[in-house]
Amino acid sequence: MKNELTLSGLKVANFSKLIDGKETQLFVLVNKSGMELTVTNFGAKIVSLLVKDKEGKMVDVVTGHDSIDDYLTSEEPYFGAICGRFGNRIAKGKFEIDGITYDKLAINNGPNSLHGGIKGFNAVVWDAVLKDTQTLELTYISPDGEEGFPGNLKTTVTYHLSDNNEVVILYNAETDKPTVLNLTNHSYFNLSGAGDPYIGDHLLTINADYYLPTDSTAIPYGPKEMVEGTPMDFRKAFEVGARINENFEQLIFGKGYDHTYILNKEKNELSFCARCSSPKTGIVMETYTTEPGVQLYTGNWMTGNLIGKKGQRYPERAALCLETQHFPDSPNKPEYPSTTLRPGEKFDSKTIFKFTTE
């Protein structure tokens, strides 16, 4: 098995390594229409995702690397990863629960803590069980105090590749002490094919009337604002690149889009989040989620320096992310939907990426 090549051209053996006393592997999921999803248990990362284009040709629509060694040294540690304990940012690396202050979070993004710290869920080896040819279950137990977060937290992430050409991601978690939790998948998508240099021509719709404006360090600073009349408005389909360079403070701060949209929905409802399509391949990706928000990130800090799969380089804005999640800095913003998880409670979340062509 280890010498086998995946349909996407990955060598399974290149993902076998001992890290922190655990073996990393590459797991391959295939559905009845030939769609292929590969995942490594290092960081629970989606490595490749093969989808049929309008001509029936298979296209890999996510960025990534050819080997575990490349992931270990990559300047982009979040390609395809599960981010946690807290995806997105916590201001100044501190928060309070029940009068207890936790202020030992890593400051790893300007003055803030990002994506769980120095060694977040993206950089640990998960225990993996291949449930069937289309389902992979990954579990990680984060010990009390890891990266400054309280409580022993057990997290399970399940990837399922459905016969309806959906990548279904289920998140479950339990804790033995009050803690904060915000889980998301950080896949970088290019529906023209990973390695295509620019996602500016992708058409994007986001089901949100409001977004969260941020300060220059990407922390939301106040109440939500309406997207109407601004380049943040994707309620109708717009090319991603049509307004990305406008003289608009929020786009200047982020070098493009890097913002949380507040989805039009009921609490915990699995509902439509976004639709994205490539004019080149005709591939359409619809996103559905139970989460209250989605972070649109347009790869503004990609450099083109690193070597990706098949020797490809990924320059600035060569991919976009639709990270379904709770809001940034929620532990310090009581007016936001709560990210506190307590003993006896169960965290459950679901996100679907559904692929079709037009």
103 labeled binding residue:
no
> What average pLDDT does the chain have?
97
31 labeled binding residue:
no
354's tokens? 């559904």
88 labeled binding residue:
yes
Provide the sign of the torsion angle of the four alpha carbons 3, 6, 11, 13, taken in this order: negative
129 pLDDT more than 90: yes
Return all residues near 203 (Cβ < 8 A) that are at least 6 apart: 237, 238, 239, 240, 275, 276, 277, 279
The full set of domain ranges for the chain reads 12-185, 203-332
Determine contact, residues 13/69, Cβ cutoff 8 Å: no
* C-alpha 297 chain-centroid distance: 10
CA dist 155 and 172 (Å) reads 6
Assign domain 203-332 to its CATH architecture. Distorted Sandwich (2.70)
Mean pLDDT of all residues in 218-237: 95
Q: Which alpha helices (DSSP H) does the chain contain, by range?
A: 68-73, 249-254
2 pLDDT more than 70: no
Mean pLDDT of all residues in 296-301: 96
pLDDT interval class at 348 (50, 70, 90): very high
94 pLDDT more than 60: yes
106 pLDDT more than 80: yes
Look up 259 and say whether it is catalytic: no
258 labeled binding residue:
yes
71 labeled binding residue:
no
Return all residues near 274 (Cβ < 8 A) that are at least 6 apart: 204, 205, 206, 207, 234, 286, 287, 294, 296, 322
Beta-sheet strand order (sheet of 26-30): 26-30, 36-40, 45-52, 58-60
3 pLDDT more than 80: no
Mean pLDDT of all residues in 281-287: 98
- Tracing tokens 């006393």 back to the chain, one arrives at 21
89 labeled binding residue:
yes
State pTM to two decimals: 0.97
Mean pLDDT of all residues in 275-298: 98
Which pLDDT score is estimated for 306? 87
Determine contact, residues 241/198, Cβ cutoff 8 Å: yes
Rg (CA), the chain: 19
1 pLDDT more than 70: no
Which pLDDT score is estimated for 157? 99
Instruction: Confirm whether 12-185 and 203-332 share one CATH topology.
Output: yes
Mean pLDDT of all residues in 178-196: 97
Look up 146 and say whether it is catalytic: no
Mean pLDDT of all residues in 161-170: 98
Choice among 186, 202, 259, 326 that is catalytic: 186
256 pLDDT more than 90: yes
Assign domain 12-185 to its CATH architecture. Distorted Sandwich (2.70)
Q: What percent of the chain has pLDDT over 70?
A: 99
Determine contact, residues 115/122, Cβ cutoff 8 Å: yes
Choice among 65, 115, 323, 326 that is catalytic: 323
